[in-house]
Amino acid sequence: QVQVVESGGDLVQAGGSLRLSCTVSGLTLDNYYLGWLRQAPGKEREGVSCIRWSGDSTYYADSVKGRATVSRDNGKNTLYLQMNSLKPEDTGMYYCAVVVTCNTIIYMTPRTSLRFWGQGTQVTVSS
């Protein structure tokens, strides 16, 4: 059984930092990409970042570029998202997803179907 578990969300002030974690179990990730997406209240899901599990290629949405760094610990099957200079517009539920291509994250729409993803971790940035 595949499990995807996110953690690290919190209430922070604008300008602060957070590191989100995502641990995946029950799946060999070598041929997959892992991505972060978020959803703010009343808004559509937005792809935030993506990384190839067995390589170095990464993707960042324009909204977080320069403020976010995605990384992974292959030995721990864990994905991280370091977010700095947080803004109130970064508020939302952050989800981790295992995908076969980063295009799923990059071109996310409300109809995008995700096979493996977690329950999310809440990030709230106060102004």
What pLDDT does residue 68 have? 98
- pLDDT tens column, 70-112: 999 999 999 999 999 999 999 999 999 999 999 999 999 989 9
Q: Are 49 and 36 in contact (CB under 8 A)?
A: yes
What pLDDT does residue 75 have? 93
What pLDDT does residue 56 have? 81
Q: Has residue 55 got a pLDDT over 90?
A: no
Q: Are 118 and 22 in contact (CB under 8 A)?
A: yes
Contacts 24+ apart (CB under 8 A), 67-75: 70/36, 72/34, 74/29
What pLDDT does residue 7 have? 98
Q: Which two tokens stand for residue 114?
A: 């995700």
- CB-based contacts of 66, cutoff 8 Å, min separation 6: none
> Of 47-51, 62-66, 109-113, where does mean pLDDT reach its minimum?
109-113
Collapsed DSSP state (helix, strand, coil) of residue 114: coil
- pLDDT tens column, 3-39: 999 999 999 999 999 999 999 999 999 999 999 999 9
